[in-house]
Amino acid sequence: MPSPQPPAGRPTSKDVAKHAGVSQSTVSLVLAEKWRGRVSPATVEAVRDAVAALGYRPNTSARSLRLGRTHTVMLVVPVLTSPFFGAVHTGAAQVAAERDFGVVVYPTRDGVDLTPNPFSSAAIDGVLASSMAAEPLDVLRSAGPGTEDLPLVMLDSEPGRGVPTVNDDVADGMRTLAEYVVGLGHRRVARLRSAVQTWTFRARDAAFRAALGPAEVVAEATAPLTLDGGREAALTLLASPARPTVLVCDDDLQAAGAYKAARALGRRVPEDVSVTGFGDLRYARVVEPELTTVRLPAVELGARGMTALLDLLDTGDAGPDVVLTGELLVRGSTAPPASG
Amino acid sequence: MPSPQPPAGRPTSKDVAKHAGVSQSTVSLVLAEKWRGRVSPATVEAVRDAVAALGYRPNTSARSLRLGRTHTVMLVVPVLTSPFFGAVHTGAAQVAAERDFGVVVYPTRDGVDLTPNPFSSAAIDGVLASSMAAEPLDVLRSAGPGTEDLPLVMLDSEPGRGVPTVNDDVADGMRTLAEYVVGLGHRRVARLRSAVQTWTFRARDAAFRAALGPAEVVAEATAPLTLDGGREAALTLLASPARPTVLVCDDDLQAAGAYKAARALGRRVPEDVSVTGFGDLRYARVVEPELTTVRLPAVELGARGMTALLDLLDTGDAGPDVVLTGELLVRGSTAPPASG
DNA sequence: GTGCTGAGGTCATACGTATGACTCCCGCCA
DNA sequence: TGGCGGGAGTCATACGTATGACCTCAGCAC
């Protein structure tokens, strides 16, 4: 005797309804918590029991189709192996989970588009993007065709361009750092900047120069934010005839590379040359001496960015632009310049 | 004169059909590349033109609902700030994108469940999970109720337990490392192990001990895989009365902590004590001297894991278990033991 | 002329949910 | 007794897609 259609797959709201002896609509009302004057407490109880008994979970695709929202957002970052963006993701994912949103990560590796396929599976309601690798329009375009008009919040991007932003106050951080370095007595500064010049790096440099006071930049170079990039550029800078007494880097990993350059040149840190980083990535405390740097609240950056994006989705308003203050961390890599 | 219902939202396949002068079914057939003898080339052309003209993109929710598959998988890892798991994600995301799948990351922070809400938005077809933080069953359970029977592939997990696995050959790596260290002449070994004892760490330790030969472990401790954890444990190990000549760590970051302990005790690396790490995370080359370690192919691990999972989804078979070989990287942190 | 075949499409329906419109019934007031 | 309000649910439909079942011809053999 062939049993007629064993339900097999996951239970649906219809199954729950049958089990509870009510209609599918009622189940839906109960689950949406919209039964204020429409369903009796006893019935609510019955539905809840049925849900538990069957282990029912709503079908997200159906819900999305009905509501026109996927409850998923995309996080666009340069490659995720950087501890900074890992932390950004952590904060963002935390907030998203609390508000019942999923996060799909979209790593833009040097501008390579991961989903050239127009039938990409990414069904998303909005985009949270770091500008480290791109301008706002590029970000949206890179998320695939048809996404140009998605709600967007940018991280570490120039404010006032029509897109809500959540930023680290890199200008304040750099100013504080500059004042500290100058206060130590340094006057001849070498500057190692990021090779990719997104807004956050331009802002760092402008703030640094504005706060130099009696000191001046006597040598300057750009390099990728890598160990080897930092090492090679620092080799040149430290050998500069202008004899800088401090090397101010845009990034901790660059600074770690600078340590290697200093060692290769027989210069001690900080006795012969001071070195500073930026970001307080985990490298900062791994190196010896530990690195003087500016802590950027990466986790909070992700969290506040996600909050703004979800607010934007819910209310149409992301709220005012956010600026998160960093913190100068003085450690062992800085000292007054050697006399003479 | 009120215009009757401006289409407003994104175009649907129905709009494309109207534009091309065909039925919605035909559009669907063309887009699914299933028109071998059912649609004329001219019509196909017309549909394609309409798609391009309207900028049509299929609605993923509707497609998922119809097909019963979301084209999204979940990647479960301990917190993503680790460079290792960042790399795993990179490999996994790459493969997923190529096969038109989305990836949502689920970080299990110390067992904290990010989506306790049974209405979680995660609509996924399968799970790719690292075992670093949990056993297979726990992984599925932690992905939320109702997910217990999802297709699953585990990374760095014990094979032969009914779940397909993709592993680094940590045993081979540790054996090679042990032979190298013993070959240098070391006989008294200190061993710094991971505090959380998942399979991969048990495997490392077993392989190490089996390959010790004439050497022996004279001091041993466990610590979390952090800088401070490594430093504190190493302080004790290096001060051991048994005077170990080499410290073999389960992790690069631990090893970086051990450097700090050695320095605090006035011991030079490698002249007074050799140190080895495991993983070849980016810390390995940041420290000075650079760390002798075993490279684990994290990107490839993610990529092969994702390949296995998608094969499992497509064909019902994940293929045979995969084992990826590592590589011993001899750098500056190891030397023969000081004579005497 | 009839029947058949196959190419080229269309029709109708189902996936599972959410919700506006509707029904039914009970109690109560005039 | 008629009517009415509101509490408790149900009905029907739409979201956008994919697909099995149908439909319509033109061409051709008999």
What average pLDDT does this structure show over A57-75? Answer: 90
Which of B61, B122, B287 comes nearest A286 by C-beta?
Answer: B287
Give the model's pLDDT for residue B198: 86
Q: Where are the domains of chain A?
A: 13-58, 67-167+300-322, 170-296
> What span, in angstroms and rounded, lies between the C-alpha atoms of A246 and A254?
14
| Phi/psi at B295 (5° precision) | -75, 130
CB A31 under 7 Å to nucleic chain C = yes
Same fold flag, A67-167+300-322 and A170-296: yes
| Phi/psi at B136 (5° precision) | -50, -50
Q: Is the pLDDT of residue B285 over 90?
A: yes
Q: Do B101 and A121 touch (CB under 8 A)?
A: yes
Give the model's pLDDT for residue B136: 59
Give the model's pLDDT for residue B197: 87
* β-sheet bridge partners, residue A167: A323
Q: Do A122 and B60 touch (CB under 8 A)?
A: yes
Q: Is the pLDDT of residue A4 over 50?
A: no
All residues of chain B having their beta carbon less than 8 Å from the beta carbon of residue A86 are 79-83, 85-86
All residues of chain A having their beta carbon less than 8 Å from the beta carbon of residue B70 are 60-61, 121
Which of B57, B61, B286 comes nearest A118 by C-beta?
Answer: B57
Q: Which of A132-136, B139-143, B280-284 has the highest mean pLDDT?
A: B280-284
> What span, in angstroms and rounded, lies between the C-alpha atoms of B332 and B329?
10
Pair of tokens at residue A143: 């998320």
Give the model's pLDDT for residue B147: 59
**pLDDT, tens digit, 9 for 90 and up, residues B293-315:** 999 999 999 999 999 999 999 88
DSSP line for A10-28: ---HHHHHHHHTS-HHHHH
Which of B80, B118, B288 comes nearest A80 by C-beta?
Answer: B80
**pLDDT, tens digit, 9 for 90 and up, residues A168-227:** 999 999 999 999 999 999 999 999 999 988 889 999 999 999 999 999 999 999 999 999
Residue B201's contacts (CB-CB under 8 Å, 6 or more residues apart) are B193, B194, B250
Q: Which nucleotide is nearest to B11 (CA to C1')?
A: D16
**pLDDT, tens digit, 9 for 90 and up, residues A192-201:** 999 988 889 9
Distance, CA of A42 to C1' of D17, in Å:
38
Q: Do B90 and A71 touch (CB under 8 A)?
A: no
Give the model's pLDDT for residue A6: 45
What average pLDDT does this structure show over B19-42? Answer: 90
**What's the CATH fold of domain A67-167+300-322?**
Rossmann fold (3.40.50)
Which of A10, A90, A122 comes nearest B79 by C-beta?
Answer: A90
Q: What is the CATH number of domain B69-166+300-322?
A: 3.40.50.2300
> How far does A215 lie from chain B, in Å, by closest CA?
30
CB-side neighbour CA atoms (13 Å) of B109: 13
What does the mean pLDDT of chain A come to?
88
For domain B13-58, the CATH superfamily is lambda repressor-like DNA-binding domains (1.10.260.40)
For an interface test with A, give the residue of B121, B225, B287, B291 to mutate (most A CBs within 10 A): B121
Pairing of strands A165-168, A322-324: parallel
- Chain C bases having any atom below 7 Å from a protein CB: 6-12, 14-20
> How far does B213 lie from chain A, in Å, by closest CA?
33
Distance, CA of B39 to C1' of D24, in Å:
15
For an interface test with B, give the residue of A16, A61, A103 to mutate (most B CBs within 10 A): A61
DSSP letter at B316 equals S
**pLDDT, tens digit, 9 for 90 and up, residues A280-296:** 999 999 999 999 999 99
User: By C-alpha distance, which of B112, B109, B80, B110 is closest to B93?
Assistant: B80
Q: Which nucleotide is nearest to B32 (CA to C1')?
A: D18
**pLDDT, tens digit, 9 for 90 and up, residues A123-162:** 788 889 887 655 656 656 555 555 567 889 999 998 988 8
Q: Mention the CATH class of domain B170-296.
A: alpha beta
Give the model's pLDDT for residue A141: 59
